[in-house]
């Protein structure tokens, strides 16, 4: 899973970040004790926790069956797109049935790479059979960008 840092660079939610989040949020360990364990600064731990809280990571960990788009762990660019277009609170099937190529093009900050990350996350859900149209839209966008 990829999220954006405050500097705009991409940060993967790896096992280390997941463990730090669990130790702080679920076990209640202090920032300094976690920092000593991982040999990083207290501020680094704080920043990691804040980034994961911003994408509502705890809710996403507790979700067993992904029904809505907000339940998926997605990059911030994709989350911003979903919120702007009104898909964030909607069911995944509604998004897949109604999203259009024009909507995807109209969001200037959304790249084909971000859409591929969304596609990869959706492949891991029970809605894999409904992804053909969305995959076709992404391929069309990829071809258009190459020919520009």
| Residue recorded with tokens 């993967």 | 12
Q: What is the mean pLDDT of the chain?
A: 82
Residue 9 banded pLDDT, cuts 50, 70, 90: very low
Residues 99-135 pLDDT 10s: 888 888 888 778 888 888 888 888 888 888 888 888 8
Q: What is the pTM of this model?
A: 0.64
Nearest alpha-carbon partner for 112 in 84, 81, 70, 87? 81
Q: Which two tokens stand for residue 32?
A: 């300094």
**Concatenated DSSP letters of 26-49:** TS---HHHHHHHHTS-HHHHHHHH
Buried b (16+ CB within 10 A) or exposed e, 33-65: ebbeeeeeeeeebeebbebbeebebeebeeeee
Residue 10: is its pLDDT beyond 90?
A: no
- β-pair partners for 4: 10
Paired strand residues for 10: 4
Cα–Cα distance, 82 to 48 (Å, whole number): 23
**Residue 145's closest CA among 101, 85, 79?**
101
């Amino acid at each position: 899973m990829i999220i954006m840092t405050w500097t705009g660079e991409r940060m993967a939610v790896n096992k280390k970040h997941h463990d730090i989040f669990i130790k702080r949020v679920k076990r209640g360990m202090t920032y300094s004790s976690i920092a000593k364990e991982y040999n990083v600064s207290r501020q680094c731990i704080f920043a990691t926790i804040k980034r994961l809280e911003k994408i509502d990571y705890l809710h996403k960990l507790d979700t067993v069956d992904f029904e809505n788009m907000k339940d998926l762990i997605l990059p911030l660019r994709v989350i911003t797109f979903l919120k702007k277009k009104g898909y964030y609170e909607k069911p995944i099937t509604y998004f897949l049935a109604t999203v259009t190529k024009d909507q995807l093009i109209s969001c200037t900050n959304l790249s084909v790479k971000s859409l591929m990350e969304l596609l990869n996350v959706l492949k891991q859900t029970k809605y894999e059979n409904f992804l053909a149209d969305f995959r076709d839209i992404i391929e069309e966008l990829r071809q258009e960008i190459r020919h520009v």
